[in-house]
Amino acid sequence: MFSASDLRKGLKIEVDGTPYVITEYNFMKPGKGQAIYTCRIKSMIDGSTQMKQYRSNDKIDKPELIEKTLVYSYKEADDYVFMDENYEQIHLSEKVLGDQRYFLKEEIEVDVLFHNGQPIGIELPIFVERKIEFTEPGAKGNTATNVMKPATVEGGYELQVPLFVNEGDMIRIDTRTGEYSERVR
């Protein structure tokens, strides 16, 4: 359990069984009154946010969170199967992975976050490289980086790339934003 005075930006707490991270925090205390802690909290499950107020005597649940490094192995129907160091299989659903599923590749190491034993999210390497499978050809000699066009990379992920990027090129994608970072070759 946390007490209200432990609250601060970045702290992970549990509300009604859901883990949240505190994204905004303010301490208020009316004259001669009790401390009131106003927080904006963001669900670690679906990213939704809400405001929450605590008083000085409130107790706040501490989420049981464990991070494990797993190796991605293969896709099975809608599930993505990972292996831990004991070769035990862990299934993550498409819903938990969201767009990050596009950046998985066999044998890639990812940090998986578990809440009460349930996997709730993964942390990928910041950059992954992908080959462009489809994009309209850009105007020849145009190296402008501020004009973008749609492209699809291997695995089916769609993003915006600069005009000079062609089919067959390798690009680097920032997995935190899902956006194009640079052309590799």
Partner 1 sequence: MNLPSEHVLQLRHTAAQAIRSFFYTRKFWEVDTPVRLPAPAPELHIVAEPAGAQYLRTSPELHMKRMLTAGAHDIFQLGPCFRAQEYGSRHRPEFMMLEWYRRDADYMIILQDMQDLISHVIDTVSSQTGLSPHFDPSNPWEIHTIQDIYLERAGWDPVSNFDPDRFDLDMVNIIEPSLPPGHCSILMDYPSPVAALARRKPDNPLVAERWELYAGGLELANAFSELTDPVEQRERFEKAVEEKRMRGEAVYPLDEAFLAVLEDDGLPPCAGVALGFDRLLMALTGVEDIACVLPFPH
Q: Which is nearer to partner 1, 50 or 89 (CB)?
A: 50
Residue 19, CA atoms < 13 Å, CB-side half-sphere:
19
Q: Taking the CA atoms of the chain, what radius of gyration do you get in angstroms?
A: 21
Asked if residues 135 and 149 have their Cβ atoms less than 8 Å apart, the reply is: yes
Query: Among 90, 53, 55, 84, which Cα is nearest to 71's?
Result: 84
On the 0-12 / 13-18 / 19+ scale of CB atoms within 10 A, 30 is exposed
When binding is defined by CB under 8 A, the residue of 27, 111, 137, 147 that contacts partner 1 is 27
Contact code string over 46-85 relative to partner 1, x by CB under 8 A: -------x-xxx----------------------------
Please state the closest distance from residue 17 (CB atom) to partner 1, in A.
Answer: 25
Judged by CB under 8 A, the residue of 10, 30, 117, 141 near partner 1 is 30
Query: Does 26 help bind partner 1 (rule: CB under 8 A)?
Result: yes
Nearer to partner 1, 41 or 161 (CB): 41
Comparison of 60 and 161: residue with beta carbon closer to partner 1 = 60
Q: In this chain, which stretch among 34-42, 60-68, 69-77, 129-137 interacts with partner 1, using CB under 8 A?
A: 34-42
For residue 167, the Cα-to-chain-centroid distance in whole angstroms is 28
| Integer Cα distance of 14 and 64 in angstroms | 9
Nearest approach in angstroms of CB 36 to partner 1 is 5
CA angle 78, 47, 5 (to 5 degrees): 135
Among residues 30 and 141, whose Cβ is nearest to partner 1?
30
By CB under 8 A, tell whether 35 contacts partner 1.
yes
Helix (H, G, I), strand (E, B) or coil at 106: coil
CB 160 within 8 A of CB 149: yes
| Residue 28 within binding range of partner 1, rule CB under 8 A | yes
Q: How far is the CB of 2 from partner 1 (least distance, A)?
A: 14
> Which parts of this chain interact with partner 1 (CB under 8 A)?
5, 26-36, 38, 53, 55-57
